[in-house]
Structure 1
């Protein structure tokens, strides 16, 4: 049986990972990457998040590297990343449901201007500001229609929102209206009330959400970023909020994490910040997904979230 070496989250997390794999995949041998007696040459797979500098160079013989995150640009952009080794992104049903629930919460918060209620409570102000628009009247656009984007779109549509999505290239989809390419983006952006970013981080998408991009949205639109922090030009986002081109924003990801205490994002009253936790599945769910991906690789199948260098995700 192939052996999995666990590096994710550092040595202090090993016990929780060990116990999770024992519960959901007891036949998969696991070892701690940080065990003094461990030799990487004796492992076939490794589970990582942010390995210490230089550590990935010791993974060049692995059959695959598995990441605990859906985004892997922080790995593939490292100088020690072994490009010859297969890389699998985190997925699974729980990850998708958590993301869909988070976006639902964020969208309803923007729809009802819940941020104003929080401000009023902290100021001991009792002021009623009725909102008459409901989910059926609200047009939500999803940027990116991959595994998570599709799950979010269908969840919102089932709740009654008017949902569409944009993706790079044409594909078949029966439930959600799709827009494609640059021409499609021109039609897509002005037609939505809340934009949800779920794009992958690639050379083509970095800093895509800038002043020009935001100006193409209908005035007063809301923005939810659960994609990557490097998609957004933060000064342009702040300017759009100040000018009321955007009515509000919910950010789960930012360019620099943890967000520096000096960042103006903290103090913009129309921004809600969460600490990159929109869809972090439980240890058991992640371990089950990793075991399933290893089983697929062992049986000559391709895991659905295998990193594709030509796509950048």
Structure 2
């Protein structure tokens, strides 16, 4: 009996297939054609919410969904039947997200948004160049050397990011569900985080979207940070209270923020976040390259047909 795996049009994929498995391509932007509805497995990447929900309603033989996204929230909320196994793309985005996060942190430390605005105005920003104060002099975050960085959501992406921050001189502490040491870095729990916030220069959010993390980065958390601190969010937009952040930045209770993810995406043109000069915006650009997707698919397709445990299983 042939096993059919549907591959998305949004990325070029060529996994190695065991005997008895065939693949078929589908357009993520369109409803699945009737001829593909009896497939056994669906690989998702960049699928609009409505098309995932449509597939969940119409694919009667489906037994497994593999999302290439690190966070499986869109698949888990699409309405697939309880017996359909779901696996994530955890690990595929560690390098790209770590690079993007480092770029955002360095950009705000070195005031690149202000410098770009000065360039647009043909203005030599003498206050940002020439003779400068030493890093952290006057209570400013201007360098990773000696900076205290708190990473909330210390998973595989954070363990890739932390050494990059360390090599530039930062002191890194993680926040996770259990305390201890991970990859050589101290990790505290959310219950302890409020004691750490006042001594933080940069708070980086790499949290997944779950009921427990919804707006966990709220006014209370932001209010514990020092006035010179920056917030960087590359996890999920639902984990940050955007209104509380905007108010804190406008009232100069925070230095600013760099945001790659938002509660509503694309971020509406009417959002006041766009016009705040102390907020740097990138369009969910951190994790757009699932590195190693073919290897993950090769392993999981083989395991699927042999009824063996799947990698990155998030729902049985």
Place the TM-score, normalised by the shorter chain, in its bin.
0.7 to 0.9
Q: Which runs of 5+ in 1 are unaligned?
A: none
- Equivalent position SS for 2:263: coil
CA contact (8 A) 2:201 2:230 kept: yes
In structure 2, the partner of 1:40 is 37
What are the within-5 Å matches in structure 2 for residues 211-230 of structure 1?
Answer: 211-230=219-238
CA contact (8 A) 1:92 1:286 kept: no
Summarize the Cα distance change of 1:226–1:123 in structure 2 as closer, same or farther, 3 Å threshold.
same
Deviation, structure 1 residue 228: 0.8
In structure 2, the partner of 1:248 is 256
In structure 2, the partner of 1:292 is 299
CA contact (8 A) 2:71 2:90 kept: no
Q: Which runs of 5+ in 2 are unaligned?
A: 136-142
Summarize the Cα distance change of 1:161–1:297 in structure 2 as closer, same or farther, 3 Å threshold.
farther
In structure 2, the partner of 1:165 is 174
Moved more, 32-41 or 97-106: 32-41
Q: In the alignment, is residue 25 of structure 1 matched against residue 22 of structure 2?
A: no
In structure 2, the partner of 1:72 is 72
Aligned-partner Cα distance in 2 for 1:132–1:2: 63
In structure 1, the partner of 2:139 is none
Aligned-partner Cα distance in 2 for 1:291–1:259: 35
CA contact (8 A) 1:60 1:85 kept: no
- Equivalent position SS for 1:246: coil
Moved more, 200-209 or 126-135: 126-135
Q: Which of 91, 108, 113 is 1:115 aligned to?
A: 113
In structure 2, the partner of 1:82 is 81
Aligned-partner Cα distance in 2 for 1:187–1:297: 46
Q: Deviations over 1:168-215 (max 9, x none)?
A: 223542511111131x11222222111110111111111112211100
Summarize the Cα distance change of 1:302–1:190 in structure 2 as closer, same or farther, 3 Å threshold.
farther
Root mean square deviation, CA, Å? 2.4
In structure 2, the partner of 1:132 is 134
Count of paired positions: 293
In structure 1, the partner of 2:56 is 56
Aligned-partner Cα distance in 2 for 1:219–1:161: 19
- Equivalent position SS for 2:208: coil
CA contact (8 A) 2:174 2:188 kept: yes
Larger relative helix fraction: 1
- Equivalent position SS for 2:145: helix
Aligned-partner Cα distance in 1 for 2:100–2:121: 27
In structure 2, the partner of 1:233 is 241
CA contact (8 A) 1:226 1:251 kept: yes
Moved more, 112-121 or 146-155: 146-155
